[in-house]
Amino acid sequence: MPVIRLAMAQMNAVVGGFAQNVETLGRFRTQAGAVGADLVLTPELCLTGYPPEDLLLKEGFMEAADDALAELSRAANLPPVLVGTIVGEGSPHIKLAPSSDGRDVTSLLDHGPALRHIANSLVALSEEGVMATATKRLLPNYDVFDELRYFHPGLGPHTIINVHGVAVGLLICEDVWVKNGPAADLAAEGATLLVVANASPFARGRRDEREAMLRERALETNCPIAYVNLVGGQDELVFDGQSVVVDAKGDVIARASAFREELLVAEIEARASSAGVVLDTLYARDEEADIAAIVNHIAEPLSEIEEIYEALVMGTRDYLRKNGFRTAILGLSGGVDSSLVATIAVDAVGARAVRGFAMPSRYSSGHSVIDAEELARRLDIEITTLPIEPAHRAFGEILSKVLDGVPVGLTDENLQSRVRGVLLMGISNDTGAIVLTTGNKSEMATGYSTLYGDSAGGFAVIKDVPKTLVYELCRYRNEVALSVGDFEPIPLAVLTKAPSAELRPDQRDDQTLPPYDQLDPLLELYVEGDATAEELIARGHDPALVLRVTRLVDMSEYKRRQMPPGVRISKKAFGRDRRMPITNAFRPETM
Q: What is the CA radius of gyration of the chain?
A: 26
Q: At what angle do helices 336-349 and 467-483 cross, to 10 degrees?
A: 50
Q: Are 566 and 233 in contact (CB under 8 A)?
A: no
Secondary structure (3-state) at 505 = coil
* 571 counts as catalytic: no
Secondary structure (3-state) at 209 = helix
- Quick one: 17 exposed, middle or buried, by C-beta within 10 A (0-12, 13-18, 19+)? middle
What does the alpha-carbon distance between residue 85 and residue 122 come to, in Å, rounded to a whole number? 6
What does the alpha-carbon distance between residue 7 and residue 10 come to, in Å, rounded to a whole number? 9
DSSP 402: T
Q: Which helix (H) or strand (E) holds 314?
A: helix 304-322
Catalytic annotation, pick one of 46, 147, 173, 307: 173
Q: Which helix (H) or strand (E) holds 496?
A: helix 492-496
H helices present in 323-466, as ranges: 336-349, 366-379, 389-399, 409-431, 441-446
What does the alpha-carbon distance between residue 527 and residue 531 come to, in Å, rounded to a whole number? 8
Q: Please give, one letter per residue, the 3-state secondary structure of 112-124.
A: CCCCCCEEEEEEE
**144: β partners:** none
Burial call 470-485: b when 16+ CB within 10 Å, e when fewer? bbebbebbbeebeeee
- Sequence-distant (6+) residues with CB within 8 A of 435 are 328, 329, 330, 424, 425, 427, 428, 456, 457, 458, 459
What does the alpha-carbon distance between residue 447 and residue 32 come to, in Å, rounded to a whole number? 50
- Quick one: 249 exposed, middle or buried, by C-beta within 10 A (0-12, 13-18, 19+)? exposed
* 44 counts as catalytic: yes
Catalytic annotation, pick one of 136, 441, 463, 559: 136
* 136 counts as catalytic: yes
- Sequence-distant (6+) residues with CB within 8 A of 409 are none
What does the alpha-carbon distance between residue 376 and residue 44 come to, in Å, rounded to a whole number? 41
Q: Are 12 and 20 in contact (CB under 8 A)?
A: no
Q: Are 488 and 481 in contact (CB under 8 A)?
A: yes
* Residues assigned a catalytic role: 44, 136, 173
